[in-house]
Every structure is written in structure tokens, then in C-alpha cells.
Amino acid sequence: MIGSQTLRTYIYSKQDAMIDWRHVEKHAADAATGGDNNSNNKKSDGSSRVKIPCRLEMFHGSGHVAHMRHDPERYWRVVTETWEQGRR
């Protein structure tokens, strides 16, 4: 379908020393609403920004890009579910 958006999944944690978890959540919120708090959801040409469906998966106890090693079963389940959702 033209104009449809594939699910975007954010896998993150509070233990990530490189990317603050609040920035991840704000980025996801901005994507889900089609903009940020300063944009009023319009592009410079006046058209509306695209709203992207988002899924947040916060891991606990793992740092930056270590989620798969920390909890491989959960990590791969999330990845598989995201792929499956994108195929619909």
C-alpha cells in the first residue's frame, strides 16, 4: 500500500553508556506522531509528516548493542515479530 509505514522497533536499555534511554523514547515518540515538539507536524513545504508505528523494547542489565548476548531468546523474538509485522 502506498503511504504505509513498516513498524520501527527500538531495542534499548537504561544501562547504555552511549545513548541515553530518554533520547530513544523521544525519538520513538517523534516518529510515532510524525514530528517533534518544535515541528507542528508539518514539513517545510507544508505537507504533513509521516507517522511511523513504533515498538519500544527496553532491556534491563545490558549495555549498548549487548542485548542479544544478554537475553538472546527475547531479542530474537522481538526481531522475528518485527519482521513478521513488516511482511503484512
**Each residue's pLDDT tens digit, 23-79:** 999 999 999 999 865 555 555 655 567 899 999 999 999 999 999 999 999 999 999
Residue-level pLDDT at 6: 85
Average the pLDDT over 74-87 and give the result. Answer: 93
pLDDT, greater one: 44 or 2: 44
The residue type of 65 is V
- In DSSP terms, 12 is beta-bridged to 58
How is residue 35 written as a grid cell?
514530528
Average the pLDDT over 11-19 and give the result. Answer: 97
Q: Does domain 8-87 have CATH number 3.40.50?
A: yes
Residue-level pLDDT at 13: 98
What is the residue whose three cell numbers read 534511554? 21
Residue-level pLDDT at 47: 54
